Structure 1
């Protein structure tokens, strides 16, 4: 059994009379795909993005039994006026809930919120849960502000209170230190690491201990950053017992690695050696299958690299199936 915890959708259409700043999905002559037009974004969306039957066919073709569906990241456009951002989120969330309700044994949905206004975003979580959504997708930065900034704490606290899962998707931010051609590669890796680190350093991990949060693409370079933070917290190598007098960053709370082991990470890291490292550092109970489908093609079959990692059967079952449902806050179906 395999559950893909990082897969995306797009609504097939948007309401007639929607604000000018809304996306458009235009028909493509002779094709079932549609063209997403949203600001500078021009994206050909295959029909699996918005058609449940086609998604199920694609699942069967690649060996997937369940998908956690979240909005395609370009929809997380936080520079919209708040009222328009809220209207867009509600439309996308309604579509997501409807698609997932068509086959709850195969789909669970994550919604979106206008996080440019954290109070309005927090207030949307309860209606989303009532509509059947299991959580919410947010970007790694909100108009350049780290997702771990203290002003987003009320939003995360409400997600924790409601038991809503939070999926942090790496989104490029403006930088002049790398060329634009690296926005989808190196910059996404940097963004993932910054997002996970900021959840710890901004105090959200400490103040929301029961928050279930996952990061796309294993939070980029975070897995290699956090052992260094651990050294400055504990004053020792290899996670040996802390020696506080050697550690300028020591405090009495959980260590950086203890915080990191509360998070979930999708295992879309493209290399079996990276998978083994993440399992050893963070634990097999922290990793999820991820594919970015249908924006990116899945491995064939799905989970091939995970199965190459030589994990014990119980660990492999956890990564392929159980952890996705633990992240969502529900018992894994059998």
Structure 2
């Protein structure tokens, strides 16, 4: 069984009375595909982005059993006025619920919130749960501000209280230190690392110990940064016993690596050697299958790199689907019999 925990959708249309700042989906002559027009963006969106029946067909073609679909990241427009951002989020969330209702055993959907207004975002979480959505997707920064900033803590606390999953998608932030061509490559890796580190350093990870949160693309460079942070916290190499004589950071709770092992990470890092490092450092129980489909082509068959690694059966079962179920709050977390019941329902 394979659950692709990083896939995307787009609404196929928007209301006629929608605010002018909403995206548009223009028809493409001779095709069921649409052209997404959103500010300066012009993106040809294949029918599989918005047609539930095409999603299921694509899953079957790639030998994928289910997908966790989240809004296409450009929809996370935190520069919109809060009122417009909320209206856009509500429409996108309605579409997400419709997709999930078409095939609830194959399509598990996440919504979105106007995080530029943390109070409105927290308030919308209850509606996301009421729609039957599994959780919410957010960007790795909000207009350049870290998601670990204190102002966003009530949002994460509410997500934790409601038992909703959070998916942090790396989003490029403007920088003059790298060329524009690096926005979708190196900058995404930097952004993922900053987002994950900010949740530890800003206190969110400590304040929300039961928050179920995952990061796209394994949180970029974060897994290579965190052993250094662990050294400064504990004063020892190779995660050895804490040495107070050498430790630089105060011992005010779990180590950086212990916090990092509370998070989930999709394994879309494009190289089996990187996946082996993630397993060794963070654990096979922390990784999810991811593809970015259909924004990016999916490996054929799905999760081919993971399949080819010939992982031990327990590791494979964790990464292929059990971790996704745990992240979504659907088990398996007790006995094998319980796991089988959950797997039978998905």
Bin of the TM-score, shorter chain as denominator length: over 0.9
Measured on the aligned residues, the alpha-carbon RMSD in Å equals: 0.7
State the match for 1:291 in structure 2. 291
1:17 shift after superposition: 1.7
* Whole-Å separation in 2 of the counterparts to 1:153 and 1:237: 32
* Whole-Å separation in 2 of the counterparts to 1:34 and 1:86: 24
SS at match of 1:315: helix
After the TM superposition, which residues 1-334 of structure 1 pair with which residues of structure 2 at under 5 Å, given as runs? Answer: 1-331=1-331, 332-334=342-344
Which runs of 5 or more residues in structure 1 are unaligned?
Answer: none
* Whole-Å separation in 2 of the counterparts to 1:191 and 1:113: 20
SS at match of 2:245: helix
Deviations 1:12-32 (A, max 9, x none): 000002111000000000111
**Contact 1:76–1:138 at 8 Å: present in 2 too?**
yes
SS at match of 2:230: helix
**Contact 1:273–1:309 at 8 Å: present in 2 too?**
no
Deviations 1:127-174 (A, max 9, x none): 110110110000000000011111100000000000000000000001
* Whole-Å separation in 2 of the counterparts to 1:310 and 1:207: 38
* Whole-Å separation in 1 of the counterparts to 2:162 and 2:224: 32
Deviations 1:38-68 (A, max 9, x none): 0111100000000011011110111100000
* Whole-Å separation in 1 of the counterparts to 2:238 and 2:309: 22
**Contact 1:284–1:318 at 8 Å: present in 2 too?**
yes
* Whole-Å separation in 2 of the counterparts to 1:244 and 1:315: 35
Aligned residues: 334
- Relative to the length of structure 1, the TM-score reads 0.99
* Whole-Å separation in 2 of the counterparts to 1:197 and 1:325: 24
Which runs of 5 or more residues in structure 2 are unaligned?
Answer: 332-341
* Whole-Å separation in 1 of the counterparts to 2:48 and 2:299: 16
SS at match of 1:333: helix
* Whole-Å separation in 1 of the counterparts to 2:327 and 2:154: 20
1:309 shift after superposition: 2.6
